[in-house]
Chains A and B, each alone.
Chain A
Amino acid sequence: MTRAALQALWSHWRRHPLQLLTLVVGLALATGLWTGVQAINAQARLSYDQAAATLGQDRLPRLEGDLTLADFAAARRGGWIVSPVLEDRLPGTGLTLYGIDPFTLPPTPGGVMPDLSDPGVLRAFLAGELVFAAAATLPRVPDTLPEGRVLEGLAPGLVMADLTAARRWLGAEGITRLLFDGGPGTPEALAETLGARVERPESDGDLARLTDSFHLNLTAFGLLAFVVGLFIVHATIGLAFEQRRTLFRTLRALGLPQRRLGWLLAGELLAFTLVSGTLGVVLGYAVAAALLPGVAATLSGLYGAGVAGSLTLSPLWWLSGFAMAGLGMAVAGAASLRRLATLPILAPAMPRAWARAQRRTVARQGWAGLGLLAVSAFIAALGDGLIAGFATLGALLLGAALLLPPVLLAVLDAGTALAKGAVAQWLWADTRQQVPGLSLALMALLLALAANIGVGTMVGSFRATFEGWLDQRLASELYVTARSEAQADEIAAFLAPRTEAVLPIVSAEADLAGAPGEVYGVADHSTYRENWPLLDALPQVWDRLAAGEGVLVNEQLARREDLWPGTRLTLAATGPLPVLGVYSDYGNTRGQAILGLATFEAAYPEARRLRFGVRIAPGEADALADILADRFDLSAEQVVPQATIKQFSLDVFERTFAVTAALNVLTLGVAGFALWASLTTLGTMRLPQVAPVWALGLTRAELALADLGRAVLLGLLTALVAVPVGIALAWVLLAVVNVQAFGWRLPLLPDPGGWVALGGWTLIASALAAALPALRLWRMPPAEMVKVFAHER
């Protein structure tokens, strides 16, 4: 019995191979995109953990602040077990250099340490003739550093060297921190005497925290793709169950128990899950491998976070891929299995009843959709934080998707009412009839289109704002970095008579409202007065800044700490200062403050004065750069024209959003596939509805054309609905998510040209999706169509 039943059930898939393909590919795509994103996140987290675990810093308290080697010596003399560490970025390489003292370094059980047991190696290390890095990092170590040796397990982008050598290479005078491993008192007691602060290991995971929003973004995208894929799976399973309704009845009438049938169908779904799950995780691996280099570039561009460019995946990840496929299948198949449980043996096979039930569902969906939109608006108005931002997004997208079928039906009803002529009326009415069958695919399309418009608008707004901001921010024509302060003075003296202005660029690390950041000093010059991108400021802001009456802060700091004009910021070196203004500072994740040059120099006398911005007629900048390079023996990195910096910044920007764009395209592809699959299955199912019209005197060509037009119309309507949804999405991204994730708010710049282009692509995609089924109808032998009339239905 069971065997025979299985055979009968399976025969359906043999007769509908396309449906089978749709089901398997749909689930595989959903699983693949989701697991791919998870793989990327897992890989990044692994890298962050490695970085955090460097030198056992994930378990030892650290003392940070203005520390020198003398402080270290004093602490050791006082009986404290501490070890000095210098950490800084190697300019122009994207690498981080760690200077360590191998003799005082606390043992790190299971940690990654260079093996210095060989006296030769130790000697070379201490002499600064040897550095360590992970195999993948070594090729990026610049030639200015000595020979590198492989130390596996070291975080990506990290180079380890002897402290003294590192201080020499970085030109550093102090040290970054002391690792604390015990002593006569608490770390706080030592910090007190040294004037430093204590960083507890649990308050760590800086990178993880900083990049959280980025990974949340990726996860949201993965989830979106997963949901879009589930739409396909759900639609296909529903259809396959519907088409086998008569078979189920027959099987039960022949004595197959309801329960056994249920188990058989669940088993069938499990088999699909295993196949699709396997395909899905393989696909996910491919997606992750393809996207990871881009993500790594993005993360290092945005956050300076080193992430390995190749994948190392745990068995857990593979398992979770299967679990996700199973979950998806369960979600998509539950409704159908439940309907089977309530299927009476004797009810007549009535395909139309299904459609009518669907129509009722559509009405309920409409109300649910409206409810979700209200929830979304509510969260947007009252919620706070990144999670609230994504909840707003989720409710918005899901609500819009649920509202799509009722909106389409309303439009098509209006069309039917307005249509003149029998054929036109039939076209509208028939299109309306198709909506329930296509609604899942159209919802998927709506989600993908809205995501595309929303993210596209966000990136476009960001790019336009960013470019304008770069123009303001990089007002100087030439940026010069001297090798020493003496040379800096020489260069300044040389430039003074030849240029309009030489503007010193000086900065110091400082604690800004409890988090590390930078303080800059600026000269009183029209360059700043005319160009600096101020978002909000008190009157005479520049006069007052020059007079040392206050401080400017960047938007990130202002939003995080609520520091707007009229409030005060306390710097350790100056005491409390009124906030005079707030400026935009894109691409920076840290807080920043600006003081008048005189105030700055008084507060941070130790800051090194090596950099200038040079104002000169734009046409003369290149010539002057050559002269400077020649005369003072400066390299290309030390004399940089404005255009080069701009290009570099824009490159970082483009890379940042390359991954988003790729995921966007993938999601759209999934939706297109869903539409094609639905239209193709509907094409065969709809034959009984089309054949009578053919018999009454329309040609197959006309009917095929009508099908094509129908698909294009539905695509067009969906695209039209997607535009406002996409704009709302962009607004949430710009005004809520960005503020939470990066600390800056951007204006929304509409891109109608882009939307029209996307609409065009949608029309082409819908036409393509409908082309094959339409062609089949056009070329269908009349005998096939006649069968409809002879067939007992």
Chain B
Amino acid sequence: MLLTVENLQKSFPSADGPVPVLRGVSFSLAAGRTLALTGESGSGKSTLLHLCAGLDAPDAGRIVIEGRDIAAQSDAGRAAMRRDTVGLVFQQFNLIPSLSVADNLSFHARLAGRDDPDRDAALAERLGLAAHLAKFPEQLSGGQQQRVAIGRVLAARPHLILADEPTGNLDEATGAAVLDLMLELVAESGAAFLMVTHSERLAARLDARLHLRAGQVE
């Protein structure tokens, strides 16, 4: 298994004591497989994704990626994992405002030491970004920014791709096309793919599906 999550628990502090968000979530995902994560707003989907990416630490439970327990890693170890193994597409695309679109696209790949300019160019072409490479993120529409964020992850070819509503800002046709591209590239690279979505139609296109309710897998 590429990703194994066991009995994951997470709560956030609030004025009236800790509010549990995840209450014992377990699942696993093999390389080359795709998994859709659904659930209503506020059910903890983004939180779960962030934990899997090693951005935050769980209160209890284990996350094992390629045989390594995230909790056992140091800060630098987790950073190295994010750089080399995991790729994240955020709900809020979170591009780097000071870098051009082209530099944003290749940024993660260059960090991971897997940069390939030809591949980047082809990717930009397929994502419909070729005309925008010299621009800065602030000059793009929401959908265009979303595509840059997706391209950034795909260019880096991580073993595990975590995507938080990657097509949420796109119209239906573009969304479907972008998902096609993602699934194609994921299949090509043999990566594992975990995607949060609200769309039943998109979820149906993935290998499996996980529904979160009241902090637990349904």
**A residues engaging B (CB < 8 A)?**
350, 352-353, 356, 421-423, 425-426, 429-430, 432-433, 688-689, 691-702, 782-783, 785-786, 788-793
Neighbour of B111 across the interface among A352, A423, A788, CB < 8 A? A423
**B residues engaging A (CB < 8 A)?**
12, 46-47, 50, 53, 55-57, 75-76, 79-84, 88, 90-92, 94-99, 103, 106-108, 110-112, 115, 138, 164
Asked if B53 and A700 make an inter-chain contact with CB atoms under 8 angstroms apart, the answer reads no
A residues less than 8 Å from B83 (CB atoms): 696-698
Nearest CB in chain A: distance from B84 CB, A: 7
A residues less than 8 Å from B53 (CB atoms): 695
Nearest CB in chain B: distance from A705 CB, A: 13
State A785–B92 Cα separation when bound (angstroms): 13
Neighbour of A425 across the interface among B55, B79, B103, CB < 8 A? B103
> Contacts A697-B80, A782-B55, A785-B55 hold; do A429 and B94 have CB atoms under 8 A apart?
no
State the 6 A-B residue pairs at the shortest beta-carbon distance, nearest first.
A697-B83, A422-B110, A692-B94, A429-B98, A433-B98, A352-B138
Asked if B97 and A352 make an inter-chain contact with CB atoms under 8 angstroms apart, the answer reads yes
Neighbour of B50 across the interface among A350, A356, A786, CB < 8 A? A786
B residues less than 8 Å from A696 (CB atoms): 82-83, 88, 107-108, 111
State A350–B140 Cα separation when bound (angstroms): 13
A residues less than 8 Å from B46 (CB atoms): 789-790
Asked if A695 and B82 make an inter-chain contact with CB atoms under 8 angstroms apart, the answer reads yes
State A356–B136 Cα separation when bound (angstroms): 11
Nearest CB in chain A: distance from B156 CB, A: 8
Asked if A426 and B80 make an inter-chain contact with CB atoms under 8 angstroms apart, the answer reads no
State A771–B71 Cα separation when bound (angstroms): 29
Asked if A689 and B79 make an inter-chain contact with CB atoms under 8 angstroms apart, the answer reads no
State A696–B90 Cα separation when bound (angstroms): 11
Asked if A689 and B98 make an inter-chain contact with CB atoms under 8 angstroms apart, the answer reads yes
- In the complex, 17 of the A-B residue pairs with CB atoms within 8 angstroms, ordered by the A residue number, are A352-B138, A353-B138, A421-B110, A422-B106, A425-B103, A426-B96, A426-B103, A429-B103, A695-B82, A697-B79, A697-B80, A697-B84, A698-B83, A701-B75, A788-B94, A789-B50, A793-B92
A residues less than 8 Å from B96 (CB atoms): 426, 430, 689, 692-693
A residues less than 8 Å from B164 (CB atoms): 789
Nearest CB in chain A: distance from B87 CB, A: 9
Asked if A433 and B57 make an inter-chain contact with CB atoms under 8 angstroms apart, the answer reads no
Asked if A782 and B56 make an inter-chain contact with CB atoms under 8 angstroms apart, the answer reads yes
B residues less than 8 Å from A793 (CB atoms): 92
Question: Which residue, of A356, A426, A701, has the highest number of chain B Cβ atoms within 10 A?
Answer: A426
Asked if A426 and B75 make an inter-chain contact with CB atoms under 8 angstroms apart, the answer reads no
State A350–B142 Cα separation when bound (angstroms): 13
Asked if B97 and A698 make an inter-chain contact with CB atoms under 8 angstroms apart, the answer reads no
Asked if B79 and A426 make an inter-chain contact with CB atoms under 8 angstroms apart, the answer reads no
- Name which residue of chain A comes closest to B103, CB basis: A425
Asked if A692 and B95 make an inter-chain contact with CB atoms under 8 angstroms apart, the answer reads yes
Question: Which residue, of A430, A789, A790, A793, has the highest number of chain B Cβ atoms within 10 A?
Answer: A789
- Name which residue of chain A comes closest to B109, CB basis: A422
State A788–B91 Cα separation when bound (angstroms): 11
State A432–B88 Cα separation when bound (angstroms): 26
State A782–B46 Cα separation when bound (angstroms): 14
Asked if A426 and B56 make an inter-chain contact with CB atoms under 8 angstroms apart, the answer reads no
State A44–B32 Cα separation when bound (angstroms): 86
A residues less than 8 Å from B82 (CB atoms): 695-697
B residues less than 8 Å from A352 (CB atoms): 97, 138
A residues less than 8 Å from B103 (CB atoms): 422, 425-426, 429
- Name which residue of chain B comes closest to A690, CB basis: B96
- Name which residue of chain B comes closest to A784, CB basis: B56
Nearest CB in chain A: distance from B46 CB, A: 6
Question: Which residue, of B97, B103, B115, B138, has the highest number of chain A Cβ atoms within 10 A?
Answer: B97
Asked if A700 and B55 make an inter-chain contact with CB atoms under 8 angstroms apart, the answer reads no
A residues less than 8 Å from B75 (CB atoms): 699-701
Nearest CB in chain A: distance from B61 CB, A: 16
State A426–B103 Cα separation when bound (angstroms): 9
- Name which residue of chain B comes closest to A703, CB basis: B79
Nearest CB in chain B: distance from A253 CB, A: 22
Asked if A429 and B99 make an inter-chain contact with CB atoms under 8 angstroms apart, the answer reads yes
Nearest CB in chain A: distance from B111 CB, A: 5
B residues less than 8 Å from A700 (CB atoms): 75
State A410–B79 Cα separation when bound (angstroms): 33
- Name which residue of chain A comes closest to B76, CB basis: A699
State A82–B176 Cα separation when bound (angstroms): 109
B residues less than 8 Å from A692 (CB atoms): 90, 94-96
Neighbour of B55 across the interface among A356, A432, A695, A698, CB < 8 A? A695
B residues less than 8 Å from A423 (CB atoms): 111
Asked if B97 and A433 make an inter-chain contact with CB atoms under 8 angstroms apart, the answer reads yes
State A698–B57 Cα separation when bound (angstroms): 17
Nearest CB in chain A: distance from B214 CB, A: 19
State A66–B95 Cα separation when bound (angstroms): 88
State A702–B82 Cα separation when bound (angstroms): 14
